[in-house]
Amino acid sequence: MLPKIAFIGTGGTIASIGADQFDLLDYNASGERVDASALIERTGIQGKFADIIPVDIRQIDSTALTSNDWWKLAETCLRIMEDPDVAGIVIGHGTASLEETAWALSLVLDAKKPVILTGSMRPLTGISTDAHANLASAVRVASNPGLAGVFVVINDEIHSPRLVTKTHTLRLGAFQSPWVGPIGYIDGPDVRLMRCKENPPPIFAHSLLRDLPRVDISYSYIGADGVGIRAYVAAGARGIVSAGFGPGMTTPAESSAVLEAIAGGVVVVQSSRTHSGLVVDSAQNRISGIIAGSDIGPVKARILLALCLARGDRQEEIERQFKTL
């Protein structure tokens, strides 16, 4: 008997219809996307190695997703996982924000079964599209009985949601886990896991996703004067992630704005615009009350900080989460 896999469609490039097979760049111009059932039918994988159950949430560009959509996704996954006959879940997702959704779900889902996010760099109708292969690989991984938790599967690779990031606008191998690499591979029908087979247990209730506080990202560059930081505070930000230089540094003007924000009750996490490597927990930052963001990139640090603030965590607990995750 074939394993049952739920496929949740959310739109994105993997479901997009271009003007013709050579339309690989501006395919969003048409705004046409197929639903989960049509995507499964067009890729031809139904019944080949899994019985796929289509589930639709929204058919949109992933840049339009909100944290409320994350809550809906989490709710849907939890409901599906209650069915003992379902072996795993695949989520079709746009690649623009795929890493954010994967990270958010990994923080809130107590996934006893595999939840796999996948997408494609070329539209469904494009010549040499990767939609078919990526969906097939994701279904194979979701059917693996030894796997549990949230993972990203793309380009025949399995990645941790904590580490994976999109590193190129167009190339099929855009998704990488810098300095660490994938945790597994898919070679034809074979799923090979090289490292951890499950995520750590979730640390947040998924209901928090419905009402996340405002947390903004400030990007450091030569001449940055802190105006952006002050504007975020004025807009009501409860947290700010500083995407600083190198190991976690800002311009002097930004540092002044950060100190003003902290004095006003805003929680500030220092990350790095390099997107990999450890942020130094410097003596000056500790004195200032700035939390070191470990090796978590700015985009994912924003999500973690927002969840901590939504739960009402104090400074010490937020620091602990960034150190231990």
Q: What residues are annotated to the active site?
A: 13
The interaxial angle of helices 252-263 and 227-234, nearest 10 deg, is 20
- Cα-Cα-Cα-Cα dihedral of 249, 253, 255, 261, to 10°? -140
Judge whether 175 and 166 are in contact, CB under 8 Å. Answer: yes
| 188 and 219 Cβ atoms separated by less than 8 Å | no
Q: Which strands make up the sheet holding 149-154, listed edge to edge?
A: 51-60, 4-11, 86-92, 114-118, 149-154, 157-159, 184-187, 190-193
